[in-house]
Chains A and B, each alone.
Chain A
Amino acid sequence: MTNVTEDYIDASGGDWDEVIAAAQASSAERLVVNMGPQHPSTHGVLRLILTLDGETCTEARVGIGYLHTGIEKNMEYRTWTQGTTFVTRMDYLTPIFNETAYCLSVEKLLGITDRIPERANVIRVLMMELNRMSSHFVAMATFGMELGATTIMTNGFRERELVLDIFELVTGLRMNHAYIRPGGVAQDLPPEAEGKIRELLKEMPKRVTIMRKMLDANPLYLARTRDVAHLDLAGCMALGVTGPLLRASGLAWDLRKAKPYCGYENYEFDIPVAEAGDVYARYRVRLAEIEQSLRIIEQCLDRLRPGPVMIDDAKIGWPAKLELGADGLGNSPEHIAHIMGGSMEALIHHFKLVTEGFRVPAGQAYAAVESAKGELGSHVVSDGGTRPYRVHFRDPSFTHLQSVAAMCEGGTVADVIAAVASIDPVMGGVDR
């Protein structure tokens, strides 16, 4: 047993000269240091308050809230459809998952879950799996960067570009899409999308192989990741850890299999599992999930049948058809001509639904999806009006960051970086 001395050097803030003077006057070995919120290896604005005894981290505390934007509060003042524009900005690396979780919960409240068109469901699954790949690539890229492996960073972001190109083609935007809407999706896939996705399906396995060659058995990488930041299954359960972290600890738990939504029960795929529960296992699970996502995307393309992409219910479905114009995404010229020159009733209908929105029967509902990071849940409450009464997102990053102390205490300060990076938190989702 080491005796921890009571005196310590507090370097967690204040005037730097005073901190140095106090440190020189003191004989303390323990140092309380602030890592973040402005630190390149903390994944955005995460603040870690570390107590260091030499190189050993004896206490790790996490401070969040630096990116709190009040999205949940803001949504109470906007219509249900406008909510997608807000939720997509929560965890900005998994926008499609945020939108889908929100829309599934709103559809549950409306009682229209079974009436979502088949094509819309296939497109949702397709987009979610593309998003899973892009999120996992960023997880690996930032991990590499934070450990000083910049090639991993450039490679990861390069592979992610392939996915973002498709997102841009389909939704008009690389991030913050607001593409999944209550009742379906905002617009159909453009005709060239399928060819582009087929190209990705051919290219991506090569890119995954490059990643595997660089990392799978790289001694430097193994030294930094093996047996680092261990979290066992009991710890995962107690701390509410889900997603790749849970699967890296040996439990094949995946909502896509356990509670299928959007028709996931119709797809063939495996749940990658690893036993070790360390940083390396999490990496292996993520990479294997990318390969499974490719399988699902291929099946999605085969299942795509022509059909509507928005619910056939004039009281809920968005009245306008969107189209890419010279100045970006907007209402299609035919729709404008119809409401402005053709039918007064259509104009009224459009106006009512777009400005006022639809009413959602009072009650509450919870819908969860298996996001790239874990269980992403959306709890929505309605009072019967055209706006949410309360929306709460159970963001996996928020929950997972609680496990930093369990993973890091007793390890070295360098392993703190690896641990946080392996959690893959996105502060936009943590703070909302």
Chain B
Amino acid sequence: MSLNGNGSAPAPGEEGEERVDENLPARAGRERLNADIDRSGMFGAKTTGDTSGYGRLLVRRQPPLASERPYTHPDDPRTSSFDAVADALERALGKSPVAYGQAVERVVVDRGEITFHVRREHLVEVARRLRDDPDLRFELCLGVTGVHYPHDTGRELHAVYLMRSITHNTEIRVETSCPDADPHIPSIVAVYPTNDWHEREAWDFFGIVFDGHPALTRIEMPDDWHGHPQRKDYPLGGIPVEYRGATIPPPDERRSYQ
């Protein structure tokens, strides 16, 4: 509930669309309370009794961010090029069969960085435009890295690309996702050859299949390894140490803060 200048609560009838701004904190609070529960309790142990008294604490999940134009904030010099980059990408994609709105799902501006969430089927086209368009010229791809969000149903596996333009001295992030059940993302090695090993690493650690990669094999783990170790459902493991009948569990199963 928000208080206005007179200290009186707004009448029930006035809580309409015109007073939405005034109720923002209350609305945000309701949204938060309705969000999915991420975890409960403060301690990581799931198997042992938690005697700390924090067991009923609920941590709720953050909703996905999406930013509206303008992406450039006058107070933040780090964002100065973002609107120009987004415009240039929109123009560049306008020339291709893929329209901007189809290819780019949402844009997030956060902490002075811009992230374009691109639908996977349009990733190669977007990457090609980013590299070749004179107003974009992202010559340098800094590789791809996977992130596993098991709770993000339908888009569990994210592939995050960082692009750097030396011509314009700008930096953007391109993010794409695929479901666990169909872990395929098109390879952009044909556009950025440097992504060869980076994509192999993301396959090795997360099990993302990069379609069109020249030789998608494991790179860090042995060739006959089972599983993809940096996924969240892959345990950290560790060696049980036995000493006088006691077994030390691996670090991720010990009782600790999270």
Q: Which residues of A contact B (CB under 8 A)?
A: 64-65, 68, 70, 72-74, 76-77, 108-109, 111, 237-242, 251, 253, 258-259, 355-357, 362-366, 368, 375, 377, 379, 381, 383-387, 389-390, 392, 394, 398-399, 401-402, 431-432
Contacts and interface: CB of A to CB of B under 8 A. Distances in A.
A399 B145 contact: no
B169 A364 contact: no
SS class of chain B's interface: helix, strand, loop or mixed?
mixed
A383 B36 CA distance: 14
A65 B221 contact: yes
B258 interface: yes
28 contacts: A64-B220, A65-B219, A65-B222, A68-B221, A73-B229, A77-B251, A109-B111, A111-B111, A239-B194, A240-B142, A240-B195, A259-B171, A357-B257, A362-B62, A364-B113, A364-B160, A364-B173, A366-B162, A375-B164, A379-B160, A383-B62, A384-B59, A390-B230, A392-B145, A394-B145, A394-B162, A399-B194, A401-B197
B140 interface: yes
A401 B115 CA distance: 28
Nearest to A257: B169
Contact of B220 (A65, A259, A356): A65
Contact of A238 (B65, B193, B221, B251): B193
B38 interface: yes
A402 B230 contact: no
A381 B146 CA distance: 11
Contacts of A363: 65, 110-111
Contacts of A365: 111, 113
B182 interface: no
B141 interface: yes
Given A65-B220, A366-B162, A392-B145, A259 B169 contact: yes
* 4 nearest A-B pairs in the assembled complex, by CB-CB distance: A240-B194, A392-B145, A356-B257, A68-B220
A368 B164 CA distance: 11
A364 B147 CA distance: 11
A238 B219 contact: no
A402 B162 contact: no
B196 to A, nearest CB: 6
Interface string B39-72: 0000000000000000000010010010000000
Contacts of B219: 64-65
A108 B112 contact: yes
A70 B148 CA distance: 16
A242 B29 CA distance: 46
Contacts of A240: 140-143, 192, 194-195
Interface in B189-218: 192-198, 218
Given A364-B113, A390-B147, A394-B145, 11 more contacts: A64-B220, A65-B220, A65-B221, A77-B236, A240-B142, A241-B194, A363-B110, A364-B110, A377-B142, A402-B197, A432-B220
B143 A386 contact: no
A386 B166 CA distance: 35
Interface of B: 38, 59, 62, 65, 110-113, 115, 139-143, 145, 147-148, 160, 162, 164, 166, 169, 171, 173, 192-198, 218-222, 229-230, 236, 251-252, 257-258
Given A251-B166, A379-B145, A402 B196 contact: yes
Contact of B258 (A70, A237, A385): A385
Interface centre among B145, B192, B196 (most CB of A within 10 A): B145
SS class of chain A's interface: helix, strand, loop or mixed?
mixed
A384 B192 CA distance: 33
A238 B173 contact: no
A364 B218 CA distance: 26
Contact of A394 (B142, B220, B252): B142
B236 A237 contact: no
B194 A402 contact: yes
A384 B143 CA distance: 25
A381 B192 contact: no
Nearest to A368: B142
Interface centre among A239, A258, A356, A368 (most CB of B within 10 A): A239
Contacts of A432: 220
B166 A73 contact: no
Contacts of A398: 197
Given A377-B162, A379-B162, A238 B111 contact: no
B65 to A, nearest CB: 8
B257 A386 contact: yes
Contacts of B145: 379, 390, 392, 394
A362 B65 CA distance: 10
Contacts of A389: 147
B74 to A, nearest CB: 17
A289 B171 CA distance: 25
A385 B258 CA distance: 6
A237 B139 contact: yes
Interface centre among A108, A375, A381, A383 (most CB of B within 10 A): A383
Nearest to B258: A385
A242 B140 CA distance: 9
A73 B196 contact: no
Nearest to A352: B257
A229 B59 CA distance: 55
A366 B173 contact: yes
Contacts of B148: 390
Contacts of A355: 257
B56 to A, nearest CB: 18
